[in-house]
Structure 1
Amino acid sequence: MTIAADFYDEQDSVFCSKRVCVMDAAGQLGSAIVHQLLLRGYTVHAAFQNHGSSSHPICGIVVVFVYEMQCFKMKYGCGNDDSKSKKLICFHADPLDYHSIVDALKGCCGLFYSFETPSDYPTYDELMGEMEVRAAHNVMEACAQTDTLNKVVFTSSATAVLWGTRKRDQHDSPVASHSHSYVDERDWTDINFCKKYKLWHGLSKTQAEKAAWALAMDREVNMVSINGGLLIHPDLNIREPYLKGAAEMYEDGVFVAVDLKFLVDAHMCVFEDVSSYGRYLCFNRVINTTKDATTLANMLLPPSASSETQRLEDDTVYEQRISNKKLNKLMLGFDTGLEVQVN
């Protein structure tokens, strides 16, 4: 279903070099990317799932979608401005529905894709991993069928990089086994390791990203991936799936986080820079001291619980063993433009 089709003019396809799609545009990252793209002069196809209740009392998903579309346009100041309204076109696109993705991509030169867990299934397990892989396959297949598409920015996670095969003991580390002394985007999380220790977030992100890369290479789709650390945002809480194994990441010097603005800027940079390629680890915070851990705990826990963390006086500093040098080099001199709106 593509209600937004009424807004799309076939003759406008000649301007597809500034027309991009963002999916899922309703998430923390997706909505911020939409906002930044509009500020940078792009026409944006904002594709999002129905994140509301599936048992809407009026007439289900159509009414919910129309309502969300109107709210989305008002959020970015497009509601009463005809010129701005034409720059933001909203679609309902289910990542498990190939045809809805094709509709959302029509006429676009680029795609920013990030998988958001359904509102009725907000956690990660093996089933979620299978769903994320299917979604990645559908998205990349739709990209291969879109003639105007020049580049895909695929949002993955640092958890698809850092979990390795070695069993943890006093002489060993659970992070990626590699020839170099630090973890970077050359490393891949080991799927069997994740299954053994029930690291479902790492498993899902790894399998989905590998599926996307396999199809991109087979179908000659120009793709880059952003492997972001823990996303810092106002709604972050202790149930965040990324945090499974946080103690091990912390002690191994690979526990990293990223601010929303930096993550959005990284997406803009890898999309607009023609020299970008492959995978990019993305973070601007390393959590490797007691002070860092305490600050994060105070964000994650309710006041009564987080007050206990203030008593920690351990001054241990764990050596950083993860690098984002590749991304930092690419972003040198990058024009970040206007500020990202964080809600």
Structure 2
Amino acid sequence: MDRAGVGKATAATAVCVTGAGGFIASWLVRRLLAGGDYAVHGTVRDPSDPKNDHLRTLDGGGERLRLFKADVLDYSSVASAVAGCAGVFHVASPCPAAKSTNPEVELLAPAVTGTLNVLRACREAGVRRVVVVSSVGAVFINPNPPEGPTMDEHCWSDEDYCRSTENWYCLSKTLAEREAWAYAEETGLDVVTVCPPLVFGPLLQPTVNTSSLFLIRYLKRDGVDAMDDRVRNMVDVRDVADALVLAYERPEAAGRYICSAHARKVSEMVSVVRSLHPDLNCQNKFVQLVGDEKVFSSEKLQKLGWKFRTMEETLNDSVESYMSARILS
């Protein structure tokens, strides 16, 4: 692959962000607009929907942000948004809060076909590099994991095991990332993937995303007597946005990158929140579990220059955001 054309933008280079109104994508759009180097084409389902208004109010949004009505399953709409862009960040991917009743339609087709449509459009438009947001869900769901607690970019989730356990989200991310690499190998398109775990941090969008709902569930008792105290891997959404820009701008970036900052038991996370916000009625009963819990190595991404926030900063900023939005009180 020719990586010579990849690098930091000059003169407001145009890049596209799919699913621009989502949690990670909103912070990525903010990050790209902030320096003045980029003009952003953001794809959304409906540019006139008020839930996308937060994008227009970002610094630089009035001058260097264009919202395109696009569905990743509609190739022509994706191609229109990608046209004229030097780089593309494919962030859009379904992540339902509840169990899917029709995974083929709700999860698998949008993830796999949508990713291939984006990659095809990128190749046709002569895009220099595509950064695909995958997930550690494409890394660790495997009945025969490697020995030791740490998993890295060489690890893949087992597709058959995902199907047999009906883990449709992780299957969708695994299939989509596999297809991305197959397409890159076949066509020579420059693709880099980034795999975050649970993503926390302050909200920009008016809706609550699935990762944030996960944290909120542990902070609100809501009549639940006790919760499983598993080790969870987490990362700040602002640090994910930084990682995605690094993966695009650094010419030497290649392959997969795990983007995980902290591995902590849920009880430890809640304890941190309780110490920072003692008035919150947080969950205080947990069921201790014993199992083969995994942590993810971000060493490869750190060698690229990535840094991350402390867990305390991420959790505090998350909670203050939820309180400001009256999600927590």
Q: TM-score range by the shorter chain?
A: 0.7 to 0.9
Counterpart position of 2:189: 221
Counterpart position of 2:125: 146
**Are residue 268 (structure 1) and residue 245 (structure 2) matched?**
yes
Distance verdict in 2 for CA 1:20–1:104, change over 3 Å:
same
CA deviations 1:299-326 (Å, max 9, x no partner) are xxxx77x43xx24596999876431110
Q: Is the 8 A contact 2:228 2:286 kept in 1?
A: no
State how many pairs are aligned. 278
Alignment partner for residue 21 of structure 2, among 26, 34, 54? Answer: 26
Q: Is the 8 A contact 2:162 2:171 kept in 1?
A: yes
Task: Look up the SS of the partner of 2:150 in the other structure.
Answer: coil
Counterpart position of 1:38: 33
Q: Distance in 2 between matches of 1:223 and 1:183?
A: 22
Counterpart position of 2:58: 76
Task: Look up the SS of the partner of 1:271 in the other structure.
Answer: helix
Q: Is the 8 A contact 2:139 2:155 kept in 1?
A: yes
**Are residue 291 (structure 1) and residue 281 (structure 2) matched?**
no
Amino acid at match of 1:152: V
Amino acid at match of 1:326: K
Amino acid at match of 1:40: G
CA deviations 1:255-300 (Å, max 9, x no partner) are 31111111111111111111100000001121247423766999xx
Equivalent residues in 2 for 1:220-239, closer than 5 Å: 220-233=188-201, 235=208, 236-238=212-214
CA deviations 1:232-269 (Å, max 9, x no partner) are 145322499xxxxx969x3xx6x311111111111111
Q: Distance in 1 between matches of 2:302 and 2:25?
A: 22
Counterpart position of 1:81: none
Task: Look up the SS of the partner of 1:145 in the other structure.
Answer: helix
Counterpart position of 1:96: 73
The alpha carbon displacement at 1:130 in A equals 2.6
The runs of 5 or more residues in structure 2 that have no matched partner are: 1-9, 217-226, 309-316, 322-329
Task: Look up the SS of the partner of 1:100 in the other structure.
Answer: helix
Task: Look up the SS of the partner of 1:129 in the other structure.
Answer: helix
Counterpart position of 2:4: none
Counterpart position of 1:160: 138
Q: Is the 8 A contact 2:239 2:307 kept in 1?
A: no
The alpha carbon displacement at 1:165 in A equals 2.8
CA deviations 1:78-130 (Å, max 9, x no partner) are 5xxxxx633111111110010111110111100011123399x9754343113
Amino acid at match of 1:153: V
CA deviations 1:163-209 (Å, max 9, x no partner) are 1133xxxxxxxxxx237763111111000111111111111100111
* Deviates further, 255-264 or 95-104: 255-264
Alignment partner for residue 299 of structure 2, among 321, 325, 341? Answer: 325
CA deviations 1:50-90 (Å, max 9, x no partner) are 3xxxxxxxxxxxxxx33559825542155xxxxx6331111
Counterpart position of 1:205: 173
Q: Normalising by structure 2, what TM-score?
A: 0.72
Q: Distance in 2 between matches of 1:156 and 1:115?
A: 10
Q: Distance in 2 between matches of 1:297 and 1:116?
A: 33
Distance verdict in 2 for CA 1:296–1:231, change over 3 Å:
farther
Q: Distance in 1 between matches of 2:95 and 2:169?
A: 15
Q: Distance in 1 between matches of 2:49 and 2:291?
A: 49
Counterpart position of 2:114: 135
Task: Look up the SS of the partner of 1:287 in the other structure.
Answer: strand
Q: Distance in 2 between matches of 1:289 and 1:67?
A: 35
Q: Distance in 1 between matches of 2:20 and 2:11?
A: 19
Name the Cα RMSD after superposition: 3.8
Q: Distance in 1 between matches of 2:77 and 2:39?
A: 19
Q: Is the 8 A contact 2:258 2:296 kept in 1?
A: no
Amino acid at match of 2:58: Y
Q: Is the 8 A contact 2:19 2:42 kept in 1?
A: yes
Counterpart position of 2:224: none
Structure 1 or 2, whichever has the larger Rg, is: 1
Distance verdict in 2 for CA 1:199–1:73, change over 3 Å:
closer
Distance verdict in 2 for CA 1:118–1:195, change over 3 Å:
closer
The runs of 5 or more residues in structure 1 that have no matched partner are: 1-14, 51-64, 79-83, 167-176, 241-245, 335-340
Q: Distance in 1 between matches of 2:108 and 2:39?
A: 32
Identity %: 26
**Are residue 66 (structure 1) and residue 48 (structure 2) matched?**
yes
Q: Is the 8 A contact 1:16 1:109 kept in 2?
A: no
Task: Look up the SS of the partner of 2:161 in the other structure.
Answer: helix
Q: Is the 8 A contact 1:126 1:204 kept in 2?
A: no
Distance verdict in 2 for CA 1:152–1:123, change over 3 Å:
farther
* Higher relative contact order (CA closer than 8 Å, sequence separation 6+): 2
